[in-house]
């Protein structure tokens, strides 16, 4: 049997779930099809930093209650290099913007709970294998659910199905242009049951490679080490990880890295990727389905949120006025922000990591840039504005 909905959303990650919530609040019907089961989606460890604009939209759509109770407000980050450190003060440099530490797992849990309690259908275990008719008035989504083949016809289909999703392939090959950079290093990320050794995130440049100290809560630390591509986490004992972190965070003064039991280890590859345009006919892409950034700038989840804010606004405008003007502008509007975030993420990555082919000249350029951020409020403000997030256009 074929069903129809106004907006078919493929993917129940942050982009798909937030879009469904925003559409619900505008009285626009939709269906979310998510290939994985609920437990898997809720446990998937990924991002942890929310920009001001992301927090604002979560609050305004009713998903801010636990975030306000449990999220940690951060007013800056610390940079470390050459055994020295410098704090970048976000509110002072941006006119009051800040960031929140609140894990993607928790954002997803909050949005799923709202959706199931009072929202449009959200189907888990619904694997989409084709999107057809992008350039017709009734695009169709084909998926498998509860062992049966099903079809959903839609006014619009939104691909929120991440980097490995299927929606992108509904755009004709000749209409797509992709831009990509794969970095010659990865991150080994750990979760540890130990109170963070810092109040704000520490981004460390070191001759041994990059390290990041982040956190999930007052009891759980999240730390990352730059490692070679192809690294097997099993080659890194807990002791080796802590020793290496300690060496990379080394700073003059009496700072100490607290150690604790490591509860998870995973290697994340680093990639920049953009596909253009983000719309073809009645099929649109949002979030990681359209663009990937290396996590150094903490932008992935925030970009996904920005896309769906623009999209929900455009679909609401269409419902209220019958005009497709905002939908027609969707791809260009989002891509301006996407490319800014791509640049910032590339900048943070290349300034802080050690490329295996790096020369001493390259290292001196990195140090010069870090010195400049410490010396110039203008240079620091450029970092702070991008990190805390630009206004959503
Ligand atoms: C391993 C990893 C670690 C990361 N760590 C960080 C980090 O530390 N900091 C940071 O800022 N960002 C990080 N990111 C990026 C950030 O998590 C993403 O940008 C964010 O998840 C984007 O949300 P999304 O909804 O667009 O995509 P996703 O979260 O990828 O969601 C896509 C959803 O679509 C579903 N799906 C896929 N194909 C289909 C299909 N055919 N049918 C139905 N459903 C489908 C998937 O199961 C998934 O639930 C990380 C990403 C990854 C992959």
Q: Which residue has the tokens 């640049």?
A: 343
**Which residues in the chain belong to E strands, given as ranges?**
2-10, 30-33, 49-51, 72-74, 76-81, 84-89, 99-101, 122-123, 127-132, 140-145, 148-159, 177-192, 202-204, 211-215, 221-227, 262-276, 279-280, 283-285, 291-292
Give the pLDDT mean for 220-242.
Answer: 97
Tokens of 298: 């903490």
At 392, is the pLDDT very low, low, confident or very high (cuts 50, 70, 90)? confident
Beta bridge partners, 226, equal 187
Active-site annotation holds for 203: yes
Active-site annotation holds for 150: no
* pLDDT of 1 higher than 60: no
What are the pLDDT digits (tens) for 159-189?
999 999 999 999 999 999 999 999 999 999 9
* CB of 13 sitting under 6 A from ligand 1: yes
Active-site annotation holds for 319: no
What's the pTM? Answer: 0.96
* pLDDT of 391 higher than 90: no
At 17, is the pLDDT very low, low, confident or very high (cuts 50, 70, 90)? very high
* CB of 298 sitting under 6 A from ligand 1: yes
CA of 163 to the centre of ligand 1 (A): 7
DSSP string, 240-277: HHHHHHHHHT--SSS--PPP--EEEEEEEEEEEEEEE-
Q: What is the pLDDT of residue 162?
A: 98
* pLDDT of 361 higher than 80: yes
What are the pLDDT digits (tens) for 256-302?
999 999 999 999 999 999 999 999 999 999 999 999 999 999 999 99
Nearest atom in ligand 1 to 143's CA = 42
Q: What is the pLDDT of residue 45?
A: 85
* CB of 297 sitting under 6 A from ligand 1: no
| Catalytically annotated residue among 143, 183, 203, 224 | 203
Of 215, 172, 173, the C-alpha closest to 194 is 215
Q: Which residues contact 70 (CB under 8 A, 6 or more apart)?
A: 102, 106, 217
Q: What is the pLDDT of residue 2?
A: 62
Shortest-distance Cα residue to atom 50 of ligand 1: 46
Q: What is the pLDDT of residue 119?
A: 83
Residue 390: DSSP 8-state: P
* pLDDT of 120 higher than 90: no
Active-site annotation holds for 295: yes
Tokens of 282: 């009645």
Tokens of 98: 């800040």
What are the pLDDT digits (tens) for 199-224?
999 999 999 999 999 999 999 999 99
pLDDT above 90 coverage of the chain, percent: 96
What are the pLDDT digits (tens) for 136-152?
999 999 999 999 999 99
Give the pLDDT mean for 368-386.
Answer: 98
Which of 295, 297, 306, 337 has most ligand 1 atoms within 8 Å of CB, for mutation? 295
The average confidence (pLDDT) of the chain is: 96
Q: What is the pLDDT of residue 80?
A: 98
Active-site annotation holds for 102: no
């Amino acid at each position: 049997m074929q069903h129809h909905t106004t907006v078919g959303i493929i993917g129940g990650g942050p982009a798909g779930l937030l879009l469904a919530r925003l559409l619900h609040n505008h009285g626009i019907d939709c269906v979310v099809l998510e290939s994985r089961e609920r437990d898997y989606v809720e446990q998937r460890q990924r991002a942890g930093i929310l920009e001001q604009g992301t927090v604002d939209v979560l609050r305004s759509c009713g998903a801010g209650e636990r975030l306000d109770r449990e999220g940690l407000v951060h007013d800056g980050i610390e940079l470390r290099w050459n055994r020295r450190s410098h704090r970048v003060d976000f509110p002072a440099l941006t006119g009051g913007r800040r960031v929140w530490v609140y894990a993607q797992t928790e954002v997803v849990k909050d949005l799923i709970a709202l959706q199931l309690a009072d929202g449009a259908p959200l189907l888990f275990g619904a694997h989409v294998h084709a999107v057809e008719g992008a350039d017709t008035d009734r695009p169709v989504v084909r998926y498998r659910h509860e062992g049966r083949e099903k079809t959903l016809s839609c006014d619009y289909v939104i691909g929120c199905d991440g980097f490995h999703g299927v929606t992108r392939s509904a755009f004709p090959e000749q209409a797509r242009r992709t831009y990509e950079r794969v970095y010659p290093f990865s991150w080994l990320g750990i979760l540890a049951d130990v109170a963070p050794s810092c109040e704000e995130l520490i981004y460390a440049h070191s001759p041994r490679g990059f390290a990041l100290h982040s956190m999930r809560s007052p009891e759980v630390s999240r730390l990352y080490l730059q490692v070679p591509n192809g690294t097997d986490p099993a080659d890194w004992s807990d002791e080796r990880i802590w020793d290496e972190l300690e060496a990379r965070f080394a700073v003059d003064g009496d700072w100490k890295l607290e150690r604790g039991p490591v509860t998870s280890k995973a290697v994340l590859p680093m990639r920049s990727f953009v596909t253009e345009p983000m719309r073809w006919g009645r099929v649109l892409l949002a979030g990681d389905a359209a663009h990937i950034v290396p996590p150094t700038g903490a932008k992935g989840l925030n970009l996904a949120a920005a896309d769906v804010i623009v999209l929900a606004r455009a679909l609401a405008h269409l419902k209220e006025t019958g005009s497709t003007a905002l939908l027609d502008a969707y791809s260009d509007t989002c891509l301006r922000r996407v490319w800014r975030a791509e640049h910032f993420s590339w900048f943070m990555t290349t300034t802080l990591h050690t490329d295996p082919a790096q020369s001493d000249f390259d290292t001196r350029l990195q140090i010069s840039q870090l010195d400049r951020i410490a010396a110039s409020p203008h240079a620091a403000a450029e970092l702070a504005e991008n990190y805390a997030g630009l206004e959503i256009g």
